[in-house]
Amino acid sequence: DSGVTQTPKHLITATGQRVTLRCSPRSGDLSVYWYQQSLDQGLQFLIQYYNGEERAKGNILERFSAQQFPDLHSELNLSSLELGDSALYFCANSVEGGNTIYFGEGSWLTVV
């Protein structure tokens, strides 16, 4: 158990809709990363927050946004969903000076 909690575990929604994925970090972890894992793209880094501020941005679409709240939980918002957004979305926290990341169990998003 990584200690990183993600909700919901599974989500099915229609194209054009908006969803919010939630991540509760390990206690004391200031960094949060979001990754997308799809069949054709593999594991793609989306975005990182550190103590509430955006630290790094990867291959995140403009339709997607994220934020980290004062209590360090994070949300990933996905809007105007397309079929291709169907994927497993991971949240992760870093420890040990940021050089190891521990993943949550992921949120399976299916867009129909």
Partner 1 sequence: AQKVTQAQTEISVVEKEDVTLDCVYETRDTTYYLFWYKQPPSGELVFLIRRNSFDEQNEISGRYSWNFQKSTSSFNFTITASQVVDSAVYFCALIKNTGNQFYFGTGTSLTVIP
Determine, following the binding rule CB under 8 A, whether residue 75 of this chain makes contact with partner 1: no
Q: Which pair of structure tokens corresponds to residue 28?
A: 């004391």
Determine, following the binding rule CB under 8 A, whether residue 99 of this chain makes contact with partner 1: yes
Determine, following the binding rule CB under 8 A, whether residue 108 of this chain makes contact with partner 1: yes
37 CB contacts (<8 Å, ≥6 apart)?
43, 44, 87, 88, 89, 90, 106
Q: Which pair of structure tokens corresponds to residue 56?
A: 């790094």
Determine, following the binding rule CB under 8 A, whether residue 3 of this chain makes contact with partner 1: no
**Residues 29, 15: Cα–Cα separation, whole Å:** 34
Closer to partner 1 by Cβ: residue 24 or 48 = 48
Scanning 21-29, 64-72, 78-86, 96-104 for contacts with partner 1 by CB under 8 A, the matching segment is 96-104
Closer to partner 1 by Cβ: residue 65 or 103 = 103
65 CB contacts (<8 Å, ≥6 apart)?
76, 77, 79
Residues near partner 1, by CB under 8 A: 2, 33, 42-43, 45, 48, 55-56, 58, 88, 90, 92, 96, 98-106, 108
